[in-house]
Structure 1
Amino acid sequence: MAKLSTEQMLYLLFAVAYSTDGTVKKGDVKGNLPADVKKKADQICEDLCQQKLLESLKASRLAVTELGKKALVANLQTTDYKFESAKGPKMLNALLSCFKLLSPETVVSSAAAEEMDFETFVEKFKKLYFQQRKEQQLRGVVAIVKKQLFRQFIEENAISETLLEKFFEKLKSQGEISVVAGREDDLINWIE
């Protein structure tokens, strides 16, 4: 699924919110976007059309494609963006309609991911660790950064940060990994 920037996600969300009969005027989307995003609206629209997440229709109208809706829903699930819009009902209704697009299987698989057992975690975490280490060795410097490893693990395995941190601490307490404070973040070393 396409990883969207915050601006792209907002543009798609506003396009869904202000759509009537499945289409929306470019000007309606641009006029309602937050000020910082509004300045880049034309370029964002063009990028989304190139990715086939938006379809440009005649008379300056747009339609959000099925691929665009799926990308929007996936990105809304993982965004850290804090909504501060006073455009309440339209935005809330758009968010609700996006969540209705989630299939029951998606919800079940998300719940199942939360129940990853420790052994599965160790296997997948170790594999990712050594994969990153191998890539870094090819470049000549090895520094496995905790924050980056966590981010990639969450993206690939859909586990909550809370559960990931709990399992990580268990790995540390069992002496499987060592953690050293780096300049910007902790560095991880797998003890072999």
Structure 2
Amino acid sequence: MTSRFCLTLLTLLLAGNACAAPAALAPLLGSIEERLAIADQVALSKWDSHKPVEDRPREREVIAAAVALAPAYQLEGGTVEQFFTAQIEANKLVQYARLSQWTLKGQAPDSPRPDLVGQIRPQLDRLQKRLLQQLADFGPYRTDPQCPSWLARATHGGDRPELRRLALVRATAELCVSKG
């Protein structure tokens, strides 16, 4: 009876650990959220300059630069392209929402405005390399059947504002892939 109980307990413990998200997920999500926080600064810049959120040449430039770095991180170009496209789309989601909120109020927040080209873009470029490394670190877990559950728990947990949660869901939408 005792050995059966121990075996059952061990099985439950191992099953519980199998459902736990890998350690590589938290830093990746942290960097994704850091990138999303920068979207507020980008939106302020676009508000002030009256430039559109959509900047396809810049988006192509960011994605091409990331894809060019992919081999250095043992990542496939297609994986990197898909990942950074999702980051850009999530970032634009935040920008569109902020611009809409500010338009409704008739003003943007009275907060410091970092320079888009001189301050914000270099910050995004530095973050890009960290994201590539973290994507590579998370790579072995992308096909795990539990991956969608890990992401759902991580993106819906905590006390994020709704917009940040939705943007995080968009940014991570293609992180998990099926083996089929």
Q: TM-score, normalised to structure 2's length?
A: 0.29
Q: TM-score, normalised to structure 1's length?
A: 0.28
More helix by share: 2
More strand by share: 1
Report 1 or 2 for greater relative contact order, CA contacts < 8 Å, sequence distance ≥ 6.
Answer: 2
